[in-house]
């Protein structure tokens, strides 16, 4: 088993377990003498098989779109094979059974897309309201959560998938064995922009207490996000 393959597939597990979440609050260092600190367990993963080796006997390199997703980019802008601007959404699911992982990934796609959009808009809105944290915390954070719930997904086309069966080890001792399944969908950029704008318009109607100045900032942000890509 190649070392590179183990490292790359380790990333799949980390993502599947949700270890790429938002960082917690910064911890101040503890002052004064301290005793020996416990060392983290050495966890590693090996590929038992993946979708290529199941047919050829040789594992494939981790696809670039999966690597991009593992870096936290579940929503990816780009162009398809015809040169048309599209948005890609990636869903990753971990289960003991491959068919169950596939089914769960496909059943949960709408919720996962809403989460991807919520994450992106949250990140961009935090920059816009950097000097106005009170308004951001009181009105905008909740509005973005509602916006994600208002997302109505349409026009999705599945374009890629990747799966691997992994064996987890702690030291030299085998532990969990499971499948990690990733699927990528594409959506026409115009369809995505209409979906995002429509969700925001519905959110404004449901939250009439948002201050006008804050609404204007979010209007500009949604428009900017549509125009930039």
Query: CA-CA distance, 117 to 112, in Å (whole number)?
Result: 9
Q: For the chain, how big is the Rg over CA atoms in Å?
A: 21
pTM for this predicted structure = 0.75
For every residue of 62-116, DSSP letters joined together read PPHHHHHHHTT--EEEEE-TTS-EEEEEEEEEEESSHHHHHHHHHHTHHHHHHHH
Helical residues (DSSP H) of the chain, grouped into ranges: 3-16, 53-56, 64-70, 98-107, 109-128, 133-135, 141-150, 189-206, 212-228
Query: CA-CA distance, 90 to 44, in Å (whole number)?
Result: 24
Decide: 47 and 6 in contact? Cβ < 8 Å.
yes
Residue by residue, pLDDT tens for the chain (229 residues) are 443 444 444 444 444 443 333 333 333 333 334 445 555 568 888 888 888 887 787 877 788 999 898 888 899 899 999 999 999 999 999 999 999 999 999 998 999 999 999 999 999 999 999 999 999 999 999 999 999 999 999 999 999 999 999 999 998 899 999 999 999 999 999 999 999 999 999 999 999 999 999 999 999 999 988 776 6
CA torsion sign, 76 to 80 to 81 to 83?
negative
């Amino acid at each position: 088993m190649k070392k590179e393959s183990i490292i790359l597939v380790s990333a799949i597990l980390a993502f599947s377990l949700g270890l790429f979440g938002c960082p917690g609050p910064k911890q101040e260092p503890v002052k004064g003498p301290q005793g020996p600190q416990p060392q983290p367990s050495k966890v590693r993963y090996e590929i038992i098989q993946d979708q290529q080796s199941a047919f050829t006997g040789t594992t494939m390199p981790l696809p670039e779109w999966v690597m991009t997703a593992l870096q936290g980019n579940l929503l990816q802008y780009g162009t398809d094979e015809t040169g048309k601007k599209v948005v890609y959404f990636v869903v990753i699911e971990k289960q003991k059974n491959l068919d169950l992982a596939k089914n769960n990934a496909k059943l949960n796609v709408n919720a996962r897309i809403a989460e991807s959009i919520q994450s992106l808009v949250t990140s961009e809105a935090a920059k816009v309201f950097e000097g106005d944290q009170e308004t951001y915390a009181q009105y905008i954070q909740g509005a973005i959560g509602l916006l994600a719930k208002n997302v109505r997904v349409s026009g999705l086309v599945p374009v890629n998938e990747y799966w691997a069966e992994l064996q987890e080890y702690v030291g030299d001792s085998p532990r969990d064995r499971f499948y990690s399944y990733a699927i990528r969908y594409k959506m026409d950029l115009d369809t995505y922009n209409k979906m995002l704008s429509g969700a925001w318009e519905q959110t404004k109607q449901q939250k009439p207490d948002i201050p006008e100045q804050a609404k204007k900032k979010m209007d500009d942000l949604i428009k900017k996000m549509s125009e930039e890509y």
